[in-house]
Amino acid sequence: MGPGWIAPARAHCGTLNSVILYRVAAPKEIVQVSRRSCRTAASLIVLPLLLVGCTSAGGEHPKINSRTVREGAQTPPPASAIPTIDSANDKPLPLDPYLVNPRQLSVINKAYAKSISLCMARFGFTYRPTVESPGPRDSDAPVTRIDGRFGHQSARLMAKWGYHPEGGVLAIQSSPEESTRKISPDMVVAGRGSSDPGKAFGPGGQIINGKTVPYHGCMGEAVKELTGSADGALYDPQIAIDVKLKTLNESQQDDRTKAAFAKWSQCMKIGGFAYKDPLAAGGDPQWRKTYKPTAHELKVATADAACRHKNNVVGIWYAVDFSYQEKAIAANATTMARVKTDLESKMKAAMRVLAK
């Protein structure tokens, strides 16, 4: 991703580094991609008007911080019914209705891009942001949530693709259209409300072709149209991200999950592979060095799937995670209800934009 790329909102900043998705990045030795400290889990919209960075299309999140996530009781919640499963990707989780799912993500991104285009047209500019997918999803990926939480789970896919995404890692290239697109200074101002190269967004108020630039430019107007505020969260608000990451960590650190991990680790040792838990196996830096899995990676992944199955690792992990999510939602009932309502409103607004 070259200069000019920007995530349309901060909603997922830091999420990919915290949630283990077992996605293998394009090899550094093969593909030269600019390093970024923060990337969203959402699709990216190509906006050459903007600076690269982890900056919100509409400013900061609503004023909610991680301390609003109540701890509740210190004792672990009961994991009532533990299913015997190899994959939980087709199983619902309590947080699913509160977080943007893949279908909603696509709708929001398309509406966001269209809203920007319509705004830019008012200033006399033809500008159509390109909506870029973050990459293909495995055929067994969950549809009710963006991240799988439990890593690769399909023995069939793991035997063929290891810890790589299905089909292998694809090279990332800038489209010829983006590299040759001409962006005038007035377009930059109209797009982000500032001509200062040191700022991702500005207060607006400039006059271009007889029209007043809105707060944070056309991007701010697009965020406002979808969320009700130019400072709104285009995707997941911080409280929802906090709850997601908190419960993920709790489920991994729970004694029941750790016991399953220990059995899994012992099983892996029998096959000659030393990993303390499935997170270590899926996150082995060796897997990031090649476009496609090596023979060794396939052996590790195949053993991983077999040991998961033998010890019902996913079933236990899923049940424990489910319980922590239920507990967190109950402890933050009022706030989470607002998150769900806001998401529903955001989707209605996106559909209205797309119907224009």
Condensed to tens digits (0 to 9), the pLDDT of residues 16-25 reads 223 333 334 4
- 129 within a domain of the structure (yes/no): yes
- pLDDT at 61 (0 to 100): 35
**Measured distance CA(195)–CA(208) in Å, rounded:** 12
Number of other residues whose CB lies within 10 A of the CB of residue 109: 22
Is residue 57 a part of any domain in this protein? yes
| Residue 290 belongs to a domain | yes
Residues 6+ apart with CB under 8 A from 144: 92, 93, 96, 101
Q: With respect to residue 53, please indicate whether it lies within any of the assigned structural domains.
A: yes
Taking the C-alpha atoms of residue 183 and residue 206, their distance in angstroms, rounded to an integer, is 17
Give the count of domains, the chain. 1
Answer yes or no: is 82 within a domain: no
- Return per-residue pLDDT of the chain as tens, 356 residues: 333 323 343 333 333 223 333 334 444 433 322 222 233 333 334 454 443 333 333 333 333 344 445 554 467 777 778 999 999 999 999 999 999 999 999 999 999 999 999 999 999 999 988 776 666 788 889 999 998 899 999 999 999 999 999 988 875 555 555 444 678 899 999 999 998 878 888 999 999 999 999 999 999 999 999 999 999 999 999 999 999 999 999 999 999 999 999 999 999 999 999 999 999 999 999 999 999 999 999 999 999 999 999 999 999 999 999 999 999 999 999 999 999 999 999 999 999 999 98
pLDDT in tens, 20-71: 333 344 444 333 222 222 333 333 344 544 433 333 333 333 333 444 455 5
Angle (CA) 257-263-264 rounded to 5° is 85
Residue 70 within a domain: no
Does the residue 83 lie in any domain?
A: no
Residue 163 within a domain: yes
Phi, psi dihedrals of residue 285, rounded to the nearest 5°:
-60, -15
Parent domain of 193? 5-65+93-354
| Strands lying side by side in the sheet with 5-6 | 5-6, 44-46, 130-132
Give the whole-angstrom CA distance, residue 305 versus residue 187: 52
